[in-house]
Amino acid sequence: MKRKSMSIRDVARKANVSIASVSRVLNNQQDGVSEPIRKKVLDACRELDYRPNPGIQDLVRRGRNGHTRNLAFVVVGQEAFGRHVYASSLDGLAQGSSEGNFSLSLAHMSGDEQNPYDLPPILRDRRVDGFLLTGRINEKTMLTLKELGLPYVILGVYSPKISGDAVRVQLDVNVTVHKLVEEFLKAGKRKIAYLLSDPKLYYAQEFFIAFKRALVEHRLDADDRHVYRVKPACGAAIEALRPVFASPDLPFDGIVSEDSMHAQEIAYLVGVRSGAFGKHDPLIATHRASDEYQLPIPAIYFDGPFYDEAYQGVNLLIDMVSGKVEALGRKLEISTNVYKL
C-alpha cells in the first residue's frame, strides 16, 4: 500500500504551530521564528518524513527520465562568491554545462547546516540532478549533503575525512611544487624558504609536504629554520619577515608562498631593500590567480587550475547523472603551468 505523502499542514499540526511558521522555517527565514519553534518544525518534518513539493514548474521541467537538466555550483563559507578564484571556476562550469545542455544554478552554504532542511531550497527540494562543491567544506557539511542522495563532485584539495569516496577534481600539488623548485634552480637559487600561512588548511599542509619532498629530491637544504609560519591575515607576512629583511644578509635566496596576498607583502619587503642583497635578492614563487595578477618584481608563478578543474568536474558530473560512468572514489588531478615573469 502506497504511503500517504505528508503536507505542510500535517507538519504544522504535528509541531503544533502555524502553517506560516512551518513555511518560514523551511525557507530559512529568520524573522519571527524562535529556535524552539524551529526545532519543533524540523523534528516534525523528520518524524513525518516530510519532503517539500518542488512545485509544478519543476515537474514540468523534468523529462521522461526524471531529470531536471539542472546542476548547482555550491560554495561553502562566509566569502560566498566574492573571491576572485571563483570567476575562472564559473567560466569553466558555464562552458561545460552549456556543452552538455544543462542549466547551472549557484548556491551558498554557511557550513553550519545541521540537516537537509537547512540547505538552500534548490538542493533541499532536489531541483537539480547533481552539484559541484567547493569552499570551506567540513565533515558535518558532507554528512548533510550526502542525505540528499544526489551525485556530486568536489573541486579542490581536501582531506580524506572530508572527500571520502567522493569524486574530486584537484590541482596536482606534487607536480606543481616540483616544477616550482626546478624554476628556482634555473634562476640560480638554492636556499629556498617557505611561508606557511595556514597549517590548519589541508591544502596548505599538502603544498608544504610536497615542497619538503621536492627539496630532498633536488638535494637542496630542507632546514626547518627556513620555514616561516604566519597567521592567515593581512600584514602577517610583513610582521613575521620584517626582522629577517632588516638583517645585512638573508638566510635564503628564494621563498615560496601559496598565498598570493602574502606574496605581495613579501614583494613589498624585497622592494624596500631592492639591491641591498646584491645578486642575492630573493625570488618569490606564488599562485597567479588571474591574468591581471603580477607582483611588482620578477617572480615564479603557478597558474590556478580553476577553469580546468571546473570544466572537467562538470563533465564528470554530467556523465554520472546520465549513467555513463560509475565514478565512485575517482580523483582527477589537473596539471598547471609554472613559469617566471
Spans of all domains in the chain: 1-51, 173-303
Spatial strand order of the sheet with 103-109 comes to: 103-109, 70-76, 130-135, 152-155, 167-171, 331-334
**Which amino acid makes up residue 200?**
K
Average pLDDT over residues 196-209: 90
- Assess whether pLDDT exceeds 50 at residue 57: no
Among 23-27, 112-116, 252-256, the range of highest mean pLDDT: 252-256
Give 141's contacts (C-beta < 8 A, 6+ positions apart). Answer: 76, 109, 111, 113
- What is the average pLDDT score of the chain? 87
DSSP, res 275: T
Q: Find residue 135's DSSP bridge partners.
A: 76
What DSSP state is assigned to residue 211? H
Is the CB of residue 41 less than 8 Å from the CB of residue 10? no
**123-130: average pLDDT:** 91
* Residue 23's pLDDT band (cuts 50, 70, 90): confident
Give the H or E element holding residue 222: none
Predicted TM-score (pTM) of the model is 0.81
In angstroms, the CA 340 to CA 284 distance is 10
Q: What is the pLDDT of residue 160?
A: 93
Phi-psi region of 189 (alpha: psi -120 to 50; beta: other; left: phi over 0): beta
CATH number of 173-303: 3.40.50.2300
- 205-234 pLDDT, tens digit per residue, is 999 999 999 999 999 988 888 999 988 888
b/e sequence 258-291, b meaning 16+ C-beta within 10 Å: bbbbbbbbbbbbbeeeeeebeeebbbbbbbbbee
- Note the CATH number of domain 1-51: 1.10.260.40
pLDDT tens figures, 69-110: 999 999 998 766 767 778 889 999 999 999 999 999 999 999
CA 86 to chain centre: 9
